[in-house]
Amino acid sequence: MKSWLTRLAKQILPASCRNWLKDCWRRTHLIRMLRTIQRQKSPVELDQIRRLVQFWNNVGFSALDEYLLALVDYVGQGSGPILECGSGLSTLLVAVEAQRHGRQLYSLEHHPEWGAKVQSLLTTLGLENAHLAITPLTEFDGFSWYDTRKLSLPKDFTLVICDAPPGDTPGGRFGLLPCLREHLHSDAVVLLDDYERSEEKEIAERWAREFGMTIEEHGIEKPFGLLKFIQPSLVLETSRELDQEKILASVP
C-alpha cells in the first residue's frame, strides 16, 4: 500500500512539493525523538542518535553518531556553561542533555537562515537553557572569527564544542583561542571536530604551542581532538624534573 502511494505521489506531485513533504516528515520525527529523549531518565542510546542523524538529513555536514555520543557523555560528566562554535543537530542534542544536568549552552552561528532553523527547533522543544547567537564572521589579524564583541558570554566555559566556522574560512577554527581564551575555565575541555583533516591537526598543534595545551585524538569512524590546558602545577612539576635532570647530568 505504501509503495503504491509513493509511486502515485511521484506521478502527481511536483518535486518541490514532494521535497517539502519529506522535510515535514523528517522534522516531525526529529522533534518526536528529541522529546522522547527529554522525557526518558536513562542515558541517550546510540540507536536514538543514529535515527536523529537520519531525520536531520544533512549529509556531509552533520556530526556523526560516534561524535554526538561523545558530546552527550562529556555534557553529562561535568558542570558549568558550554560553548558551541557552529550550530545544528549537535545543538539540539547537547541542549537536551545540558537541560537534564542543569547546564547552559551558548552557540555561535554566522549563517542567518541556518541559525533561524535551529532556533525554531530549540523554541519548539522548550530548550530555554540554549542561547543561540547569530553573529557574522569578522576579520582579525590573520584569521576570521565570530564577532562576539556585543555578546554577553560567561567567563568560565568548562566545555567547548568546536565544529565551525567552515574549513574555507581564513584561519579555519584557529580564532577560538585568540578571541575567547579569557572566557574559558582553566579546566576547560575543548572538543575539535573533523580531526581527520590536516588543517584541524595543524590548528590543534598551534593551540598547544601558543596557549599551553595537551592534545588527544579520540574516535574511530570520525576522529576528533580533545584539548586541555596544562595546569600550572603540572608545568612547575615538569620544570622541577628537568632541573633535577640537569643537576644530575652535571654531577661527574
**Partners of 84 in beta bridges:** 107, 161
Query: What is the model's pLDDT at position 13?
Result: 55
CATH superfamily of the domain spanning 62-250: Vaccinia Virus protein VP39 (3.40.50.150)
Convert 222-234 to b/e letters by CB count within 10 Å (16 or more is b): ebbbbbbbeeeee
Query: What is the model's pLDDT at position 244?
Result: 43
- Report how far residue 101's alpha carbon sits from residue 151's, in angstroms, rounded to the nearest whole number: 24
Query: What is the model's pLDDT at position 127?
Result: 98
Mean pLDDT of 41-65: 80
pTM of the model: 0.84
* pLDDT range class, residue 25, cuts 50, 70, 90: confident
pLDDT surpassing 50 at residue 231: yes
Q: Domain ranges for the chain, please list them.
A: 62-250
pLDDT > 90 in the chain, percent: 71
pLDDT surpassing 70 at residue 20: no
Average pLDDT of the chain to the nearest whole number: 86
pLDDT > 70 in the chain, percent: 81
- Other CB atoms within 10 A of residue 143 CB: 19
pLDDT surpassing 90 at residue 15: no
Instruction: List, as one string, the DSSP characters of 22-43.
Output: HHHHHHHHHHHHHHHHHH-SSP
- Report how far residue 66's alpha carbon sits from residue 53's, in angstroms, rounded to the nearest whole number: 11
**Partners of 228 in beta bridges:** 189, 214
